[in-house]
Amino acid sequence: MKRPTILVLGAGYGGLATVVNLQKNIGIDVADITLINQNDYHYESTWLHEASAGTLRPDQVRYDIADVIKADKVKFVKASVEGIDIAGKQVSTNNGVFSYDYLVIGLGFEGETFGIPGLDKYALSIANVKAARQIREHIEYQFATWSMEDVKDDSRLTIVVGGAGFTGIEFLGELGNRVPELCKEFDVPQEKVRVLCVEAAPMVLPGFDPELVEYAVGHLQAKGIEFSIGTPVVEATPEGVKIKKGEDVFEFIKAGTVVWAAGVRGNRLIEQTGIENMRARVKVEKDMRAPGHNDVFIVGDCALMINEEVNRPYPPTAQIAMQQGVTVAKNLISLIKGEETEEFVPDLKGSVCSLGEHDAIGVVFGKKITGAKASFMKKVIDNRSLFMIGGPSLVVKKGKFNVL
């Protein structure tokens, strides 16, 4: 009897967690497992804000996929997915066409510009490890160029961050640490540097406890970071951004660097599959399968799940994506055995938002924490993520141990 083929697209948190848990619990004679990813490495997307600011090197946020998969159980293919044929049960890539019996889609997120003119051309996005390297080098270039100019253009030293959600605030926290270092390195007076966060919504960190939000904003403002809340970006140009400050009231902010961190969507390939979706995110069934497609599972940023207690979607976090991967692996094994699948129930242990190397805010096991204690918990969470995928050896190799 032919072994079923399990095809996993994407080696993000959800896809990699699926594969790692499959290889732990399934024999090589039970199924053929293939993992397809455009890079031969996984990057910790929750660390990209650090690489973007320059407080972590890009190589520190990534590790080789070969380090965590077992070659005798999982075939890895380095390829970019170009199309998904649900009816024909095939996936086309730039490295061939692959058939499947069961498909797991974990293709991650894309930046959402909401149709704002110029953002896709003139704003940088914390999208992946290569983009993070680009942001870091771009900021350093602006500082270096300013220091060499005979006639100084101070707008080179203005950094506009679009978005005061999780990613935006964590990036601002790292910038708060990085800017003094850049000023010292390039002989730039720190008072010349301007870091401005622009947010269309009327609040910072929506969904976070107001007391913790107040702490975060105060901490960042003490580092010289400015906030313009309730002021949407309406256009980006090569010189900066135009924001709306009121009815028919606009302001142009000249800036050498614009980083957009104000929204994500699922991978656009989802929209070409015929599976019902919203901004390329699929409202999955309780066992993580796509509605009407019993052989297709969706994990991570491409999956949409409603928290029925508050009637809002669960945030697409690494914590949830990895838990989804565990459940999907169990359900795939159950399907192969002819058994019933199980419902995915998120086990939310809390959420911590970093404000730089030694400060953070968060709620862990229902308790609010700030400062060094929250920063320590953030590193514990980061290390636990590594442990769940690669065990102690990966923690030793890539873990965060600087807690002072």
- Rounded to an integer, what is the distance from CA 385 to the centroid of its chain? 14
Could you give the count of Cα atoms lying within 13 Å of 391 in the half-sphere of its Cβ? 7
Name the token pair of 302: 């491409």
* 219 closest CA partner among 209, 231, 227: 227
User: Strands 257-260 and 158-162, how do they pair?
Assistant: parallel
Residues in CB range of 362: below 8 A, 6 or more apart: 212, 350, 351, 352, 353, 368, 369, 370, 374, 377, 378
- Are 402 and 382 a contacting pair, CB within 8 Å? no
User: Strands 257-260 and 124-125, how do they pair?
Assistant: parallel
CA angle (8 as vertex; 72, 61 as ends), nearest 5: 85
Q: What is the largest CA-CA distance in the chain?
A: 76
Name the token pair of 86: 């649900």
Q: Phi first, then psi: what are they for 312, rounded to 5°?
A: -135, 155
Active-site residue, from 44, 50, 170, 357 = 170
Rg (CA), the chain: 22
Tell me whether residue 170 is one of the annotated catalytic residues: yes
- Are 289 and 352 a contacting pair, CB within 8 Å? no
In whole angstroms, what is the distance from residue 274 CA to residue 269 CA?
Answer: 10
Name the token pair of 364: 């862990």
Q: Phi first, then psi: what are they for 370, rounded to 5°?
A: -140, 170
Helix extents (H) in 187-306: 210-222
Q: Which residues are catalytic?
A: 170
